[in-house]
Amino acid sequence: MTNGWVDIKNADMILVMGGNPAENHPCGFKWAIEAKRHRNAKMIVVDPRFTRTAATGDLFCQIRAGTDIAFLGGLIRYAIDNNRYAKDYLAHFTNAAFIVKEGLKLPEDGLFSGFDPATRTYDPATWNYEAEGAPNSAGLPPKVAFDLTLQDPRCVFQLLRRQYSRYTPEMVERVTGIPKEQFLQAADLFTSVRIDGDMTKAATMLYAVGWTHHTNGTQMIRTAAIVQLLLGNVGRAGGGVNALRGHSNIQGATDMAGLYHLLPGYLKAPAASDVDFKTWVARITPGASKPGAWDSLNYWANTPRFAVSLLKALYGEAARKENDWAFHYLPKVDRDCSWVHLWDDMYRGNVKGMLAFGMNAVCIGPDSQKNIDALKKAEWLVVGEIYPDETSEFWRAPGITAEEMKTIRTTVYRLPCAGFAEKDGSTTNSARWLVWKHAALPPPGQARLDQDIVAEIFLRVRALYRKEGGRFPDPILNLTWPYSDPLHPPLSELAKEFNGKALADLTDPKTQQVVVKKGQQLPGFALLRDDGTTSCGNWIYCGSWTEAGPQLARRGTEDPSGLGVYPNWGWSWPANRRVLYNRASCDLSGKPWDSSRTQVWWDEAAQLWSGHDVPDYKADSKPQDHMGPFIMNPEGVGRLFAPLAAMVDGPFPEHYEPVESPVANVFHPQQPTNPVLKKLASPDDRFGSPAEGFTVVCTTYRLTEHYHFWTKNNPMSVQLIPEPFVEMPVELADELGIRGGDKVKITSARSYYIAKAFVTRRIKPMTIDGKKVYQIGMPINQGFRGIQEDAGKDARTIANRLTPTVVDPNAHTPEFKGFLVKVEKG
Amino acid sequence: MDASRREFLKSTGGAAAAALLGFDLKPAYAQLQELKIARARVTQATCPYCAVGCGVLIYTIGDNAKNVTPQVLHVEGDPDHPTNRGTLCPKGASLHQDILNPRRLLKPQVRRPGSDQWEDITWDQALDEIAHRMKKTRDDTLVEKDSQGRTVNRCEGLAWIGGCTDTNEFNYLVVKSMRAMGLTYIENQARL
């Protein structure tokens, strides 16, 4: 989230799209209700189903799954045509005025300039700004040509206008199935916060995996960000683009780089082409790119400090300037190792051993059967879990015969881990708040703390390398392990390690006075150095555990501004800022756009930025210096246009159909799907089409009463929702002779799923470009091990047997929503 | 906080209602609740489910004395937490049954090649076998130089996948130790 849960109460307008917080985030959604009750906020809900969120909204639009860019693109067009955008904000806080160099082609025919059909990739050379006064070189120009009047035909604003001129209300209706009049009602309502450019009000957008689970998911979120920048809603209380997120520490897992392409704090993982430390940091450290007269903090310019401090945290004394900070201890990535590729590489026999802790890989999918088939080929699997799950028992999945079981050679270790109440440590909620929790009791039976298991595995491997030698043991032998109890590393010590400490006395460069003594915890990332005198395991978490103690364990309930900032509850990254980009909550002179919601402001007397929140800005940058509020972008401003390789599939979002779609792409039938999309080619990777009888659009979702594949072990959750079901329109059920409670079989090109029919008017048949299209929805929370499953009370099929392995080329997230199925009476 | 809440219930809840109706069960319920958690230790925790991150209070008895296993009596929303302010959803409200659950895994087990069943295994034996397998797979599949002669030091045969309810500290330990072993197949529920 750019903002936070409590902050939603400050909104005047709420668009919920790609999420269903009333059911999936009930205790956070109360802040949307708070905004409705106390600010008279309006709420628009766009979803394939009439959810409980929709039931509380002022306007509901039923959308065809996967067509969100068409809707949001229509919103951009409406806002521009009706003068409902934030003019000063747009000109000065976004790249609207930046001029794009000649040669960019917009995708009227479905393709931007630079496409190579042979490799299905783009050369983004033409997706760049025009340099001011000098010829363009390969990267972003340090000085960018611009036109503050926004009239130049090649300025970003005019290109944006042209790009979305095709997204007329008629086209929105043809693609999304939302009637033109209803779309116009929604567009009018949402943009009403910016009538004639008045900046007082703020609108927020709330989304979840309904936007990420598509082959153009990242671009959906970008379209939302463009709308919010256009309307000047980012950085403001009650505004922003807010990912609600589904799991208690999904934000933290990303921050801490539980993903192949990252190192902690969003540093890009080294690639094979990074032949040394210098090459790596040069590649991942951007240079400022902005109009000559403007200023840009370009905070990523500090990347070398973050990188050296990380290597010092990992390798201590073994990371020295002379050995390139032990850069070659880090593995270099040369391929896509993301989720579906990991499984594909196991399927093809390359990944031989896997450790799977704290999730249920087989059920999570996509294409559960492919994951099961992959595990059959692995040599060994270690599962750390608290319940018996489908992943550890893949070898006895329904359908595997006694004979086949004998041929499955995989050795599986199942280790009993600790539940949430048995572990301390911090989690990071979707508002970026790190909050410490305490352990209430020890793990039961022989179960062990997860960190103890990983520590002991690592230390045993290290002991083997010490004893026997082996291939390149250096990173294993030299990894720092300074814990007071090496086999049971206290999480408080790990938290202090990723906060970071001084390895020498640190002096203030201006006064030469020592500000942090050797050995002390660092107060914040501004003190990180690239000379080896600081160590820090995750720069964005620097400040969470200082000499003043664990900031992430604070429980101060005061909220002086009344805006829901709660500056003393837990600790929010970065630097305890609660709303990101909050300098944009003020006008050019540093005065809040809305005097009743003052977050930060320029204090002329003190010559500093001050506020109820921590300014997300250089504290002493005077307004007249024109430093951009989006300090993490090299431009210093928000990106309506994403230059160069920021996105692999285009500098502006364009509507593409899901990989399995019931209709043609009405914008460009010759280019229906995302052009850079690549399908995996194993025999398990099958795709269906309407011609083969797969005509119904299916979307997966979650329930209030269940949490993923975990609570099927919880008696109360099972009592509330005991069985899998498929939600389908009355009209479809009538056509097929299905009544509520009947057993139905849902089949995709991958596999089938059996559940009870839940016949409903919450999903209506849709008309898509003149064609009748049905959508169905199914929760994913069951499998073949659980209370009901073990009692033989359901079909023991897994919902994700149906879903395809095709992914969003930017974020590598699979298309769990909007695939095609057949529906039959079971 | 607990003392003051109980005091509040005791002093106001019953008295006000009784004055209106003449007869009221509230004091009796408050009394029951008080008895149930009177000697309990309160632990501040965070709900493990969605990313709202609701504060929860776990009430246990057992007092941390040696040889005494704490027993969980009650779980409720933390009224001080700014986000949830004491509320919990149906999942959060059933956390008690997640903590005390007869389906919990209690011992390490192994399924051997071709077998149709789990066998018990000691922790020592399991961790010993896992460590040997990790080392062997790493030594078999480590690529020090790629085809262009560039140093890559990656292990292509090992993978780690993690969940999204693990703590930041655990995730840091995983990234630290797995990257040190050369893994590039490190993925997480967060991708999905």
Note the ipTM here.
0.97
- Asked if A477 has any chain B CB less than 8 Å from its own CB, the reply is no
Q: What residues does each domain of chain B span? A: 1-38, 41-104, 109-191
- A791-795 long-range contacts (CB < 8 A, ≥24 apart) are A793/A722, A793/A723, A794/A723, A794/A724, A794/A754, A794/A755, A795/A724, A795/A743, A795/A753, A795/A754, A795/A755
Q: Does the pLDDT at position A134 exceed 90?
A: no
- In this prediction, residues A643-650 reach a mean pLDDT of 97
- Whether the CB-CB separation of A712 and A782 falls below 8 Å is answered with yes
Distance from B28 to chain A by nearest Cα, in Å?
A: 26
- Find the CB nearest A339 among B69, B91, B191: B191
Tell me, yes or no, whether A90 and A164 share the same domain: yes
In chain B, which residue's Cα lies nearest the Cα of A466?
B135
In a domain, A282, yes or no: yes
Q: Compare CB distances from B46 to A334, A437, A447 and report the shortest one's residue.
A: A437
- Cα separation, B71 vs B120, in Å, equals 27
Residue B176 — very low, low, confident or very high, per pLDDT cuts 50/70/90? Answer: very high
A354–B161 C-beta distance less than 8 A: yes
Please compute, for residue B129, the number of CA atoms within 13 A of its CA located in the half-sphere on the CB side: 20
Nearest chain A alpha carbon to B62: A441
pLDDT at A339 over 80: yes
Q: CA-CA distance, A680 to A336, in Å (whole number)?
A: 12
Say yes or no: A26 and A128 in one domain: yes
- Comparing alpha-carbon positions, the chain A residue that sits nearest to B176 is A314
Judge: A451–B170 Cβ closer than 8 Å, yes or no.
Answer: yes
Residue B26 pLDDT level (bands cut at 50, 70, 90): low
Rounded Cα distance, A79 and A95, in Å: 17
Which positions in chain A touch B57 (Cβ < 8 Å)? none
| Region A229-252 average pLDDT | 97
Mean pLDDT of A80-99: 98
- Contact at CB, B131 and A25, closer than 8 angstroms: no
> d(Cα A604, Cα A285) in Å, to the nearest integer?
33
DSSP conformational letter for B10: I
- Give strand pairing partners of A203: A13
Q: What does the pLDDT look like over A23-57, one tens digit per residue?
A: 999 999 999 999 999 999 999 999 999 999 999 99
Show which of residues 543-562 on chain A sit within 8 Å of chain B, judged by CB atoms: 555, 557, 559
Residues A236 and A265 in one domain: no
How close is the nearest chain A Cα to the Cα of B85, in Å?
9
Q: Would A667 be classed as within a structural domain?
A: no
Cα–Cα dist B167/A358, whole Å: 11
From chain B, the residues in CB contact with A258 under 8 A are 162, 171, 174-175, 186-188, 190
A34 min Cα distance to partner chain B (Å) = 12
Are residues A720 and A816 part of one domain? Answer: yes
In sequence order, the β-bridge partners of residue A571 are A434
Q: Which of A591, A625, A646 is the last residue of a domain?
A: A646
The distance of A659 to chain B (nearest Cα, Å) reads 17
Helix (H), strand (E) at residue B183: strand B183-188
Residue A399: the pLDDT is: 95
* CB-closest option in B60, B142, B166 to A471: B142
Determine which of A345, A707, A720 to mutate to test the interface with B (most B C-beta atoms within 10 Å).
Answer: A707
**pLDDT value at position B38?**
78
Do A287 and A225 share a structural domain?
Answer: no
For chain B, positions 124-143, list CB contacts with chain A under 8 A. 126-135, 137-142
Provide the pLDDT for residue B62.
79
Q: How confident is the model at residue A172 (pLDDT cuts 50, 70, 90)?
A: very high
Helical spans, DSSP H, in B9-122: 14-21, 26-37, 90-93, 95-99
Say how many C-beta atoms besides its own lie within 10 A of residue A132's C-beta: 16
Is A563 touching B (CB cutoff 8 A)? no
Task: Determine the pLDDT at residue A361.
Answer: 96
Q: Is position A567 within any domain?
A: no
Of A361, A444, A457, the CB nearest to B131: A457
- Taking each helix axis from N to C terminus, what angle separates A68-81 and A217-230, rounded to the nearest 10 degrees? 20
Q: Most A CBs within 10 Å: which of B41, B46, B50, B179, as the mutation test of the A interface?
A: B50
Whether A494 and B99 lie within 8 Å, measured CB to CB:
no
Nearest-angstrom CA–CA distance, A494 and A313: 10
Host H or E run for residue A176: helix A169-176
Nearest to B101 among A255, A357, A713 (CB): A713
**Cβ distance A820 to A804 under 8 Å?**
no
Nearest to A5 among B83, B88, B162 (CB): B83
> What are A589-604's pLDDT values in tens digits?
999 999 999 999 999 9
A99 touches chain B (CB under 8 A): no
Q: Is A230 in contact with A187 (CB distance < 8 Å)?
A: no
Q: Is pLDDT of B1 > 50?
A: no
Range of the domain at A133: 6-246+636-646
Clarify whether residues A352 and A227 are in a common domain. Answer: no
Residues A343 and A296 placed together within one structural domain of the fold? no
A330 neighbourhood in chain B, CB within 8 Å:
153, 179
Cβ pair A407:B114 closer than 8 A:
yes
Which residues from chain A sit within 8 angstroms of residue B151, using beta carbons?
A: 275, 328, 332
pLDDT digits (tens, 9 = 90+) for B106-127: 999 999 999 999 999 999 999 9
Q: Single out the residue of A197, A261, A257, A252 nearest to residue A230, CA to CA.
A: A197
Interface of B with A in 61-120 (CB under 8 A): 62, 69-72, 77, 80-84, 87-95, 97-99, 101, 103-116, 118
Total tally of structural domains belonging to chain A: 4
Is the model's pLDDT at B12 over the cut of 60? no
State the distance between the two ends of chain B, measured CA to CA, in whole angstroms: 39
Closest CA to A737 of A654, A825, A678: A825
**Residue A211 to residues A42, A223, A340, A538, B153: CA-CA distances in angstroms?**
21, 11, 19, 28, 36
Q: Note whether A247 contacts B: Cβ–Cβ < 8 A.
A: yes
**Contact (Cβ atoms closer than 8 angstroms) between residue A433 and residue A569:** yes
For residue B35, pLDDT over 80 is answered with no
The rounded distance, in Å, linking the Cα atoms of B113 and B109 is 13
Give the span between the Cα atoms of A208 and A526, in whole angstroms: 32
Distances (CA, A) of A733 to A661, A763, A774: 21, 12, 10
Please name every residue paired with B105 in a beta bridge, in sequence order, or none if there are none: none
Contacts of B74 in chain A (CB under 8 A): none
Cβ–Cβ of B103/A538 closer than 8 Å? no
Predicted confidence at residue A252, as pLDDT, reads: 97
Last residue of a domain, one of A646, A674, A702: A646
Instruction: Give how far A782 is from chain B: nearest CA, Å.
Output: 15
Task: Check which CATH number belongs to the domain holding A398 and give it.
Answer: 3.40.50.740
pTM of the predicted structure, to 2 decimals: 0.95
Q: Which CATH architecture has domain B41-104?
A: Single Sheet (2.20)
Q: What is the pLDDT of residue A460?
A: 98
Whether residues A793 and A706 fall in one domain: yes
Predicted confidence (pLDDT) per residue in A673-690, tens digit: 999 999 999 999 999 999
| pLDDT tens per residue across span A711-769 | 999 999 999 999 999 999 999 999 999 999 999 999 999 999 999 999 999 999 999 99
Is A614 inside a domain boundary?
no
Q: How far apart are CA A188 and CA A172, in angstroms?
A: 14
The band of B13, judged by pLDDT with boundaries at 50, 70 and 90, is very low
Mean pLDDT for chain A overall: 97
Contact A416 B165 (CB under 8 A): no
Is residue A106, in this structure, part of any structural domain at all? yes
Strand partners, A46: A17, A61
Tell me if A680 is assigned to some domain: no
The set of residues, in sequence order, having a beta carbon less than 8 Å from that of B30 and lying 6+ positions away, is B6, B9, B10, B13, B14
DSSP code, position A543: T
pLDDT at B17: 46
Q: What is the mean pLDDT of residues A813-826?
A: 96
User: Is residue B186 within 8 angstroms of chain A, CB to CB?
Assistant: yes
pLDDT band at B68 (very low <50, low <70, confident <90, very high): confident
**Residues of A (177-236) whose Cβ lies below 8 Å from B:** none
Range from A516-525, B63-72, B107-116, B154-163 carrying the lowest mean pLDDT: B63-72
With beta carbons less than 8 A apart as the criterion, state whether A415 and A380 touch. no
Helix H or strand E encompassing A700:
strand A696-701
Residue B3 has pLDDT above 70, yes or no: no
Q: Which residues of B touch A388 (CB under 8 A)?
A: 103, 105
In the 8-state DSSP scheme, what is residue A721? Answer: S
Structure tokens at A597: 């919601």
Task: Tell me which chain A residue has its CA closest to the CA of residue B54.
Answer: A27
Residue labelled with tokens 């879990």: A385
Q: Is the predicted pLDDT of residue B41 greater than 70, yes or no?
A: yes
Task: Give, to the nearest 10 degrees, the angle between helix A277-284 and helix A303-315.
Answer: 140
Interface of B with A in 146-175 (CB under 8 A): 146, 148, 150-175
For A552-571, what is each residue's pLDDT tens digit?
A: 999 999 999 999 999 999 99
pLDDT at B66 over 90: no
DSSP B135-168: HHHHHHHEEEE-TTS-EEEEEEEEEEEE-SSS-H
Q: How far apart, in whole angstroms, are the C-alpha atoms of residue B74 and residue B35? A: 12
Which residue in the set B50, B126, B188 is minimally distant from A24, CB to CB?
B50
Say yes or no: A164 contacts chain B, CB-CB below 8 A: no
In a domain, A554, yes or no: no
**Strand A42-47, strand A59-62: pairing:** parallel
Point out the least confidently predicted range of A368-377, A511-520, B4-13: B4-13
Q: What is the CATH number of the domain that holds A726?
A: 2.40.40.20
CB-nearest partner of A444 from B92, B104, B152: B104
Look at residue B6 and tell me whether its pLDDT is greater than 50. no
pLDDT tens digits along A179-193: 999 999 999 999 999
Work out the average pLDDT over A99-109.
97
Same domain, A799 and A770: yes
In angstroms, rounded to a whole number, what is the distance separating the alpha carbons of residues A86 and A638? 13
Q: How far is CA B181 from CA A315, A396, A457, B46, B162, in A?
A: 13, 31, 11, 32, 16
Would residue A600 count as lying in a domain? no
How many percent of chain A have pLDDT more than 70? 100
